[in-house]
Amino acid sequence: MRRYLALLGQYFLQYSKVRLAYRVDFLLSVVTMTLATGFGIAVVFLIFRRVPAIAGWNFTQILFLYGFSLLPLSLFNMISLNLYYFSETYIIMGKFDQVLLRPMHSLFQILLEKFRLEAMGDTLLGVVIMVACARQLGLPLGVAEWAFLALATLCGCILYTAVFLMLTCVSFWMEDRVGVIPPVYNMLAFGRYPLDIYGEFIRFFLSWIVPFGFASFYPTAAVLGKEVYRIYAWLLPLVTAAFAGAALLVWNRGVRNYSSTGS
């Protein structure tokens, strides 16, 4: 573990040096990502210009939920860059052969060879939104609450990674340059709003099939005092461990199924 943590530090340091060498391009990427997030927040404002509350959630509560949802998503966006191009770059072009020759776990290399540093802007924005909303709601966020939110952020990031890693593994059996990730990635937006506003099937789907609700909604609901969802917050580590274990099993199975391009 110590070796992998040291390698993680080296990966992050070296990639940061390369990425920040082109500062204008990096700043433009940060601005672009922040503007995209800003448009999403603007949608919340537009919705509440017409209605005072949705399914028992007022504007400030939903904005708090939106702010928290940025935290696990931004961490996931930082480490998931290679997942989007895995099929074309690593399978079709044969780069995965190089990964398997190195004395490190293949998944470690795929996830941490590149970082989307501009995603850190969303992390900061999410914290700012949460602090501002907590003050307006009179919500006491002490050490225990922030510790829980930090744990929930980590679990949410792992859940996102697990889901998209399993989708990425399809490439081991079916060579597809586009892959199945883009349509599922669009579903992330569902987790930024209360699951109460969706039908029963969608709530079940976003909880137990593609657990985006556990990544953002249930932890936020627990912090906001929605007692009916507190049990889901306690289940968060178990759900995270289950999906992470399943994703690792599928990945290892896919690696065993991999056959080199021969080029």
Asked if the structure places residue 155 within a domain, the reply is: yes
Q: Please state, rounded to an integer, the average pLDDT across all residues of the chain.
A: 88
Q: Is the pLDDT reported for residue 15 higher than 80?
A: no
Asked if the structure places residue 163 within a domain, the reply is: yes
Asked if the structure places residue 262 within a domain, the reply is: no
- On the CB side of 36, CA atoms within 13 Å amount to 13
**Interatomic CA distance for residues 52 and 119, integer angstroms:** 32
Decide: 198 and 190 in contact? Cβ < 8 Å.
yes
Asked if the structure places residue 59 within a domain, the reply is: yes
Domain that holds residue 227: 2-257
pTM: 0.91
**Could you report the per-residue pLDDT of 53-99, keeping only the tens digit for each?**
888 899 999 999 999 999 999 999 999 888 888 888 888 888 899 89
Q: Rounded to whole angstroms, what are the CA distances from 157 to 22, 75, 178, 195, 240? A: 28, 6, 23, 19, 9
Domain count, the chain: 1
Q: Is the pLDDT reported for residue 263 higher than 60?
A: no
Asked if the structure places residue 104 within a domain, the reply is: yes
Asked if the structure places residue 88 within a domain, the reply is: yes
Q: Specify the pLDDT at position 6.
A: 81
Asked if the structure places residue 252 within a domain, the reply is: yes
Decide: 66 and 44 in contact? Cβ < 8 Å.
yes
Asked if the structure places residue 263 within a domain, the reply is: no
Q: Is the pLDDT reported for residue 212 higher than 70?
A: yes
Q: Specify the pLDDT at position 85.
A: 84
